[in-house]
């Protein structure tokens, strides 16, 4: 008869197991393993010895508040000769002075907190995560460099600025920092589906499609006790400006510490970065992407209707918008719920914009479905398809109430960008979302997506052309010129009116104050003639109107008196902040104190007051934020300079992320890659 093992105690071998399962960056105080991969528990027997073939042990694994075999949230199993990696199983691998027990979960087990009981001896707890290294897992990803970047990298780059001038912003994802995994598991526990039916939700956690959708809903707080509250106006006095965050750690910790009070405030890149941190923490490969000239189509007709006033400036009466850029994430997984061919990157957008199934969430939708125009596929195809493909119609509202269609070329979905694998360069992934413009495949996609407007468009060669040209680099604090270039391609002389204006604008398209304006009532153009009209942008004019986005929208409206046709050219420019210089003093080694000297030169013609540097970095600043304030003003042309000290906790390539803030120059970002030796 079977002899049950008489277990006195056991050792979970956390350091060995966590390292083997690539979770050791979470710490080695508790057992954190990945599904579909064996882990080892060493048993110390009170009496007797292990006898192959006759020793027995009953094991039961359970997760969630209502474990059930049917839901896959409970499993009972005994000892077998060998591990079976397709189901819960256990086998003894050696039995000298103690019994080494190898235990494996199936590659589709629900993730989260599990309890495992060893016969009558007692039970232990462990955390189970997705396993992108396991071929049987829905999130399996080939390529060690890709896994290094999309699962293990705790810092990265998010692209902002605009399509002509993408600006890399460093971000500390910090998914393995102290307390972050617990905050991420709490996000799953606080989601309304879990509160309504915890047993079913625990079972749903086997599926990264379900979990990605939960993350997309829970990173914003619009229908639930989610993590972040969004705000897109320029007053953040009762919270923190979205610009000021340097990473996700502080946000997730604040939410967790305040009993799930939403953290104020987020905007799209903050929502996306936090969703990326949560996805990576749980083991789903994830990356933040930026779509420049992103359409926000509020009525799903794939048409963005914009209205401009007499002066060619955007009017506020439209719910449809074009955002200068918009960030979301892509999570990597198979889609067994769809027909074959839609595995791989899935777009997931946690910024609250439109409701999906009654909740503010969006995705996951396969990039391949967007590219092929299969917008009925789950989830939220039409919205993301429009973000990269919508057609833009612009109307001119005259004083007498009439509207006229304007001739203009506004494209959406440009330069879709993400950080390259293993480097800080920008990778252009537009081709993953759309076929080349004008190609036969593009026409097929638009036909499938019922995007008739794009199919009908013929390029009418307009007789008059208008363009906005700018200087190569426009630095904040400088005065510079921008130009409206007007060309007459007709055979007759033209007499026109040109309105050339500039307004501050926020990244999501909301207009601010006027930064410079010209109205020329008599522009005469001979056949074939080109004229350049300059508009001077003075710091003294634009300084007080800029938002923290540093963006100015230039609009040139040309009206042909003879035909009453209106032509519009629009261009957003981004003013470049000064560079933050970081010098590392000393030899970077694990657990050795380092100094960094951080400098920024004041580029403005006015002194900077209340200057403050804030610094953080995963495995560099020990999960803390270092803040250094300057006591005195920094005069024009002078350096703001601080020295900070930190002690790295892990070897490897790390980013030290820096934010500089002051009364006139807000939230300048910088970083330094530091290689920490052993």
Residue 389 marked in a binding site = yes
- Closest C-alpha to 305, from 392, 373, 389, 385: 392
Distances in Å between the alpha carbon of 112 and those of 316, 378, 448, 461? Answer: 46, 25, 40, 60
Q: What is the spatial order of strands in the sheet that 303-308 belongs to?
A: 303-308, 391-397, 403-405
CA distance 277 to 275: 5
Q: Where are the beta strands (DSSP E) in 86-145?
A: 89-95, 99-104, 112-118, 123-129
DSSP characters for 324-382?
Answer: EEEEEEEEEE--TTS-TT--EEEEE--S--S-BTTBS----EEHHHHHHT-TTSTTTHH
Angstrom CA distances, 578 to 158, 334, 603, stand at: 18, 43, 7
User: Smallest Cα–Cα separation from 597: which of 643, 656, 630?
Assistant: 643
Cα Rg of the chain (Å, integer)? 29
**Size (the chain), residues:** 678
CA torsion through residues 18, 22, 27, 30, sign: negative
Around Cβ 224, how many Cβ atoms within 10 Å? 21
In 3D space, the residue among 491, 511, 493 whose CA is nearest the CA of residue 502 turns out to be 511
Query: Would you say 437 is a known binding-site residue?
Result: yes
Catalytic positions are 268, 326, 349
Give the three-state DSSP class for 222. coil
82 Cβ contact partners less than 8 Å away, ≥ 6 residues apart: 91
What are residue 350's DSSP bridge partners? none
Q: Which residues contact 564 (CB under 8 A, 6 or more apart)?
A: 404
Contact between 565 and 305 (Cβ < 8 Å): no
Q: Is 357 annotated as a binding residue?
A: no
Residues 117, 120, 125: CA angle, nearest 5 degrees: 20
**Cα(355)–Cα(223) distance, integer angstroms:** 10
Task: Please give the backbone phi and psi of residue 405, each rounded to the nearest 5 degrees, phi first.
Answer: -75, 140
Q: Decide: 162 and 552 in contact? Cβ < 8 Å.
A: no
What whole-number distance in Å separates Cα of residue 262 and Cα of residue 537? 40
- The pair phi, psi for residue 667, each rounded to 5°, is 45, 60
Among 429, 425, 394, residue whose Cα is nearest residue 413: 429
Nearest alpha carbon to residue 206 among 126, 129, 114, 285: 129
Nearest CA to 332 among 359, 367, 298?
A: 367
Report the binding-site residues for Ca(2+): 389, 391, 437, 442
């Amino acid at each position: 008869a079977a002899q049950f093992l008489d277990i006195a105690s056991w050792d979970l071998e956390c350091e060995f197991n966590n390292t083997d399962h690539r979770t050791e960056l979470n710490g080695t105080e508790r057992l954190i393993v990945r599904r579909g991969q064996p882990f080892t528990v060493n048993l110390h027997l009170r009496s007797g010895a292990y006898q192959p073939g006759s020793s027995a042990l009953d094991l039961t694994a359970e997760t969630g508040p209502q474990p059930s075999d049917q839901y896959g949230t409970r499993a009972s199993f005994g000892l077998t000769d060998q591990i079976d990696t397709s189901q819960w199983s256990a086998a003894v691998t050696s039995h000298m002075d103690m019994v080494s027990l190898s235990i494996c979960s199936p590659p589709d087990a629900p993730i989260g907190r599990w309890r495992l009981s060893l016969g009558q001896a007692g039970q232990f707890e462990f955390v189970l995560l997705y396993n992108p290294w396991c071929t049987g897992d829905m999130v399996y990803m080939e390529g060690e460099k890709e896994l290094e970047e999309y699962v293990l990298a705790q810092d990265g780059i998010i692209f902002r600025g605009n399509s002509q001038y993408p600006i890399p912003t460093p971000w500390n994802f910090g998914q393995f920092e102290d307390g972050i995994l617990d905050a991420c598991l709490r996000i799953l526990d606080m989601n309304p589906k879990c509160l309504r039916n915890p047993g079913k939700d625990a079972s749903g956690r086997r599926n990264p499609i379900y979990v990605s959708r939960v993350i997309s809903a829970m990173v914003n707080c619009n229908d639930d006790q989610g993590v972040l509250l969004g705000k897109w106006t320029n007053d953040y006095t009762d919270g923190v400006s979205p610009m000021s965050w340097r990473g996700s750690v502080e946000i997730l910790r604040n939410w967790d510490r305040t009993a799930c009070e939403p953290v104020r405030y987020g905007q799209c890149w903050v929502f996306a970065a936090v969703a990326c941190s949560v996805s990576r923490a749980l083991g789903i490969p994830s990356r933040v992407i930026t779509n420049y000239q992103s359409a926000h189509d509020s009525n799903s007709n794939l048409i963005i209707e914009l209205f401009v006033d007499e002066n060619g400036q955007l009017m506020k009466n439209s719910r449809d918008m074009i955002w200068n850029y918009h960030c979301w994430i892509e999570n990597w997984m198979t889609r067994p719920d769809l027909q074959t061919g839609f595995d791989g990157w899935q777009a997931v957008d946690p910024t609250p914009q439109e409701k999906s199934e009654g909740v503010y969430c969006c995705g996951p939708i396969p990039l391949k479905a967007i590219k092929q125009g299969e917008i009925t596929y789950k989830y939220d195809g039409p919205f993301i398809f429009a973000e990269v493909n919508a057609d833009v119609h612009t109307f001119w509202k005259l004083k007498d109430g009439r509207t006229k269609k304007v001739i203009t070329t506004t494209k959406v979905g440009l330069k879709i960008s993400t950080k390259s694998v293993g480097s800080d360069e920008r990778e252009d992934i537009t081709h993953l979302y759309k076929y080349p413009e004008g190609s036969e495949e593009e026409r097929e996609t638009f036909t499938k997506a019922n995007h008739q407007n794009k199919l009908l468009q013929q390029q009418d060669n307009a007789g008059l052309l208008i363009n906005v040209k700018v200087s190569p680099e426009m630095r904040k604090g400088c005065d510079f010129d921008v130009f409206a270039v007007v060309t007459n391609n007709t055979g007759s002389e033209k007499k026109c009116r040109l309105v050339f204006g500039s307004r501050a604008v926020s990244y999501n398209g909301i207009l601010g104050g006027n930064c410079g304006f010209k109205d020329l009532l008599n522009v005469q153009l001979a056949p074939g003639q080109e004229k350049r009209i300059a508009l001077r942008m003075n710091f003294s004019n634009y300084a007080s109107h800029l938002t923290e986005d540093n963006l100015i929208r230039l609009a040139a409206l040309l009206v042909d008196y003879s035909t009453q046709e209106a032509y519009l050219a629009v261009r957003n420019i981004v003013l470049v902040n000064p560079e933050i210089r970081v010098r590392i003093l000393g030899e970077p080694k694990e657990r050795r104190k380092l100094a960094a000297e951080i400098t920024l030169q004041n580029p403005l013609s006015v002194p900077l007051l209340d200057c403050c540097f804030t610094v953080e970095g995963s495995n560099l600043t020990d999960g803390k934020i270092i803040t250094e304030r300057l006591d005195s003003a920094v005069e024009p042309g002078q350096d703001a300079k601080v020295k900070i000290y930190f002690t790295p906790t892990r070897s490897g390539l790390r980013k030290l992320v820096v934010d500089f803030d002051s009364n006139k120059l807000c939230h300048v970002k910088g970083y330094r890659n530091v290689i920490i030796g052993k």
